[in-house]
Amino acid sequence: MTSNKGKRLAAVVTDGLADNGHSSEPRIDRPTQTRLGDQLRAMYDDLVNQPVPDRFKDLLDRLEKGGAPEKAR
Amino acid sequence: MTPEPAIRDALLAAVPSLRAFAISLCGQVDRADDLVQDTLLRALSHIDRFERGTNLHAWLFTILRNLFHSEYRKRRREVEDPDGSYAGRLKVQPEQGSRLDFEDFRSALAKLPSDQREALLLVGASGFSYEEAATICGCAVGTIKSRVNRARSRLAGMLAVDDADDLGPDSMTRAALQAIG
């Protein structure tokens, strides 16, 4: 199973027939691009969905009350 | 710089996205949170420069990115990742059921040059258009497209190598976990 997966992901198309003028750059095929995009978004969404630390709400609450903002660090 | 409630709410709503971008950029949660805090303070102190009705997210990402480059790249040797130490640090405390599969991907992402990583994160993960990403990075649209293409190609190459390595510890762990069910 894993060997097939590797081959599929390795399908880097290098014919460079891009219509955007950047013909020297390697292009990856659409399925690879889709798979990379899915993985990237899944990883990123995992971060986005993390609970926000209280420090940010506290900071904005403090500022809203007119408290002098302390230097960030 | 007391924020109006609407501004305060909008900033707070942007925090999860800003954190995700910051963590992905610099690879350390503590440092990323400092970066986000600096971004919020900077945004509030320059809120008069924000044009109402334009994209607040893009404006905040621009500030965060500029802060990252001006302050954090001074510590370049810590941040850049010639030997994969970034990847080791980019372990956000995994929550219950957090997916081990991200480790390979994170480690590959960490090996990209930072300009490519940044472009890919903005366009491929944060949902900005090429034009918005170009504005955020202060470069031409074609430059962003080129960086994203190169980032994708490199990632594909790196992950193909990883996937072929059946005996890697990650795949063994995965296999073990799958066996457990």
Q: What is the pLDDT along chain A (73 residues), one digit of tens a residue?
A: 444 444 444 444 444 343 444 444 567 888 888 989 999 999 999 999 999 999 999 998 888 776 555 544 4
Condensed to tens digits (0 to 9), the pLDDT of residues B74-85 reads 665 555 555 555
Nearest-CB residue to A48 (from B17, B99, B146): B17
Look at A47 and B19 and tell me if their CB atoms are within 8 Å.
yes
Look at B12 and A9 and tell me if their CB atoms are within 8 Å.
no
Look at B1 and A69 and tell me if their CB atoms are within 8 Å.
yes
Look at B156 and A10 and tell me if their CB atoms are within 8 Å.
yes
Condensed to tens digits (0 to 9), the pLDDT of residues B170-179 reads 555 566 666 6
Cut 0.90: pTM above it: no
Write down the pLDDT at residue A19: 42
Condensed to tens digits (0 to 9), the pLDDT of residues B125-167 reads 999 999 999 999 999 999 999 999 999 999 999 988 655 544 4
User: Does residue B1 belong to the interface with chain A, where contact is any CB pair within 8 Å?
Assistant: yes
Asked whether the ipTM of the predicted complex exceeds the cut of 0.95, the reply is no
**What sign has the CA pseudo-torsion B35, B40, B46, B50?**
positive
Higher-pLDDT residue of B70, B15? B15
